[in-house]
Amino acid sequence: MADLIINGKKIKAKEDRTLLQVARDNGIDIPTLCSKDALEPYGACRLCVVEIRKGGMVSLESSCTYPAENGLEVSTDSSAVIKARKFVLELLLARCPNVKIVKELAAEYGIEKPPEHLTQENEYCILCGLCVRACNEVVKAGAIGFSGSGKNKQVESPFGLEAQDCIGCGTCAFVCPTGIIKVRDIEKATEKTPDGEVEIGPERMIENWNRSLKMQTCIVSGNPFAPEFMLKRFREQLSLPNQFFNVSPSYRQCPSVDEDLCIGCGECLDECPIGAIRLIEKEDSEIRSNIMSTHCCGCRTCTVYCVRAAIKVQETA
């Protein structure tokens, strides 16, 4: 454990935590546009800078990348910190004057418009890298990346062409703080051919990456629910039965255990592909299977392997 001081408050923290995480753990707000718990620290936006005193030295550091260390004195709201954040927000406001989150943060620091010496643009991407990192670190598709440098730096698909590794999950749009990444589901997409216009059915479009993907239809509801290409990728990576990929999450039903038939053999537990089943001891000391509905994906693998047919799905009318 590390003993440190943040804004005059003595704090104990695990040394594998960053200063941003420690501050949040203790209810101390630090603004940031490029940090997500599921992603590795990146330090792109520089809004999370804090003032650090260590061994007689004082410096401004990004709190999302600086580890908690013993003996640190940290200030999140010193005059130097406020000045640095204002400078960053002025630059962001000049680049993205119409982005809601940028305008809101700037207003919090008393900035209504960027200084006149800064050239105003009309961009919506702040180059935080969240979409690129999520695609690489979480989705592991590696479909998009940075290109160019300096003022020409941008996020795009390889060579600006169709991102053929994009699975259409929409994670990039979910993490984007400015909302510039657009994902559209089209109910009846069409394609123009030399023979005329051909209907190709439901389709997902991610315009930013020039990607169009045909949607899989739920065999229960008849509604499209996920891109076929994404489900194909998951089939190759996950040991799950076809039912998991053919039924929309909204229509997957969690099986139930008939405790009068269950003998607690654990066969279902061994075969559950995502660990959603556990064995519990009843009041009479008998062991029974228990399916955790919060974890169950509705694949029904357990119903196949139950030696007593004790696990069943209640079919809806």
Q: What is the mean pLDDT of residues 261-282?
A: 92
> What are 96's strand-pairing partners?
none
How far, in Å, CA of 165 to CA of 160, rounded?
13
Task: Check pLDDT > 60 for residue 317.
Answer: no
CA distances from 195 to 79, 151, 201, 220 (A): 68, 44, 17, 34
The token pair at 119 is 């050239």
Query: pLDDT tier at 299 (50, 70, 90 boundaries)?
Result: confident
Query: pLDDT tier at 316 (50, 70, 90 boundaries)?
Result: low
Q: What is the mean pLDDT of residues 187-205?
A: 85
What phi, psi does 202 have (nearest 5°)?
A: -65, 140
> What are 106's strand-pairing partners?
none
The Cβ-side half-sphere exposure at 120, using a 13 Å CA radius, reads 8
Structural domains in the chain, CATH included, are 1-123 (3.10.20.740), 130-228 (no CATH), 253-312 (3.30.70.20)
How far, in Å, CA of 221 to CA of 225, rounded?
10
How far, in Å, CA of 114 to CA of 97, rounded?
8
3-state secondary structure at position 135: helix
How far, in Å, CA of 64 to CA of 271, rounded?
40
Mean pLDDT of the chain: 92
pLDDT for 310: 95
pLDDT for 251: 82
Task: Return the C-alpha torsion angle 166, 168, 173, 174, nearest 10.
Answer: -120
pLDDT for 315: 64
pTM for this one?
0.81
How far, in Å, CA of 11 to CA of 2, rounded?
8
What phi, psi does 37 have (nearest 5°)?
A: -60, -30
